Chain A
Amino acid sequence: MTVSNFPTTEDSEVREDSPTEPRRPSPLRKIGQSFAMFRNGKSITGLVIIGIFALTAVFAPFVAPYGPLDKDYNALKQPPSAAHWLGTTHLGEDVLSQIIYGTRGVLIVGLVAGVLATFVAVFVGVAAGYVRGWRSESLSALTNVFLVIPGLPLMIIIASQYDDPSIVLISAVIAITGWAWGARVLRAQTMSLRNRDFVQAARANGETLLRIITVEMLPNLTAIIASSFVGTVTAAVLGLTTLAFIGVIPITNLNWGTILFWAQQNGAFPDFWWWYVPAGLCIAIFGMALSLVNFGIDEYVNPRLRSAGERARAMRKKGMSMTSGVTVVKATPAPQSEESAQP
């Protein structure tokens, strides 16, 4: 269990910059470095999509052509038109405006639940990784219990006990069921960091526990923390929309799941496609953007993932196959044909 599949961020940084001469990074560069995990195509694409959703949510009143609950009884269940780009509901509400305002509900709950869950994950995970013996084991057991217990049924049961659960409560419930994965990964990584020389040195220097954890360890855990945050937000968005679709969340909390709930309750399926297709697509696109950010972080942490496709394509260009067992021998002074010989 102590073995982590991830080379640490440290390793990959060394691999990236190894040929360059050591130089004192300026403070600005240092800040830039801590965002290095987002500096690749996939992460940027994901962040841009998330940014668009975020801007839409913040400026909803300016972006949306109508209020989310404005009713136009002359245009009921209308297909998309110039006046209503995504058509109208059974009450003549503008579907596009509902989706734009619904983005707010999704983002707020996703953010709050993500922050709460990441906080717990970092606390439990780093503690479980740093301490030894029965304390570490019991924190790990706690994490595993929360990993195994199915989250959605628990959310349904807790949320349904309240007549009018608030946004904070919903977020908290989602966070309670969603922190364990991050804690598990963080524990494994902390355990491997704990025995590194620089942490040993810090301990030998008599640095306090708090300083060792916050100054020496956390910077090396940022990629994993970021990835667990993104993962929790994804799970929170899916959880929230599912709960809203089932109808255990009050319909006053407008989000994409609520739109689908209304659509199903009012017989939108299957004829009024403009009512239910866009909301679901938004969930999928938002989720995909979050996954893209995470893939970017994965590739940053595990450089093999990043270069696999490029190396294979480069070899094929030279007329060699990555998958054949036969080593190609070229008469001309050719580059190494064995895949492992590639830098």
Chain B
Amino acid sequence: MGQRRREAAVPSPPGNRHSDMLTVAPQVPAKKHNICMVSDFFYPNMGGVESHIYQLSQCLIEKGHKVVIATHAYGTRKGVRYLTNGLKVYYLPLQVMYNQSTSTTCFHSLPLLRSVFTRERITLVHAHSSFSAMAHDALFHAKTMGLNTVFTDHSLFGFADVSSVLTNKLLTVSLCDTNHIVCVSYTSKENTVLRAALNPEIVSVIPNAVDPTDFTPDPSQRHDDRITIVVVSRLVYRKGIDLLGGIIPDLCLKHPDLHFLIGGEGPKRIVLEEVREKYQLHDRVRLLGALEHKDVRRVLVQGHIFLNTSLTEAFCMAIVEGASCGLQVVSTRVGGIPEVLPEDLITLCDPTVRSLCEGLENVIARQRSGSVASPASIHAKVCTLYTWRNVAERTEKVYDRVAGQEVLPLDRRLVRLTTHCGHVAGSLFAFVAVLDFLFLLFLRWLFPDHLMDVAMDTTGPQGLWRGALDDRKGTRSKSAMLKNEKAGPHQTKL
């Protein structure tokens, strides 16, 4: 709750907080940026980061910026692809190590990323997700190349175990000379500032958003003779599936008309299957398996209550989607979740089976007595809270601010690394930074910049896709779509 009050105390959204600085700096408000979003996670992989990057890019394109996305190749999807409105995606052939994240050697990605940055005339590199090695690599190379950098952190992290300690060190090194950092909630900001030992002034909070038109309520899909609890999440430890396994038998025993609808896939599925087996709940607990994004709404609208049992969460998109579909939301009080929805739309519980059961029973009782708000009114409230246009506007302000800043030259970057990141890691990465710089000089000698063809802009001020963009409200012109297809799926690697 403390965070929420703090948010209320600052009248302008965090992106605006530096508006006074913006007016001092001689900034042209109409300045357009050439932005490259880099992350290991992008479509066809599915998840919060992926949709964040996609939606944010679309809104920035709408505002007239040029946006390209760089990610690693997914299976046969490599090369250059175009998405809606000329959003260009580079699927670079980099080796995937673990969990869709590339390996980081600090060097091997430089030639390709330099090629992308140079030919697209990128001015600003925006990396996403601290789990993505490619994002860190891109930040590192962008700073070597003298480009401005922004980083968005999408997740919370611990401090205690070995992997956290290592990742946090890497994050410290990676973020110590990054121009600006964006977090998705105040809890996430607090976490990131502590993990990476950052100056809180260069960290902004810009929440995620949902597309409210994708998640509209449809009460006719509900079965009125029963109460359905919907859970949509990956079935992994972090999402508290063990808690869910504890809740299901208790509640099903007490309420014979209670049904569970569980969407998602993961290693913890076995827990739920065991529970279902043990208590003979096959008809009342349905496991739907992995859901495609377009199917999520179809599942959500069938329920009365949305349950989220996450143990850690920077900003929970799922509960916003649930509320947007008009469901009563019950969630654990962890991470950034208390900031996400106003109190009348969410029931918060402690992350224990008992507390969650109590919370759910309260909501079930209210649902039975009919004293809950109608799905339409919940949707109306939620759809004004988080929109991508708002996110893009605030991100744009971050970009405007960053574009005016200088990128540390190599000597000062080395000083910063050694003084800021501790003796051992600092010196090590200062050495790596020097090597990276030498490698860049070598590449500039081997493949000079002037021999690289500048890419045609599909988006941005001189974007060739503009014709299609202008009549995006109507149907897009057939020729534009055909062109899209033509350029799209047939990229080959020579």
Q: Do A and B bind each other?
A: no
Q: Which residues of A approach B to under 8 Å, CB–CB?
A: none
The residues of B with any CB-CB pair to A shorter than 8 Å are none
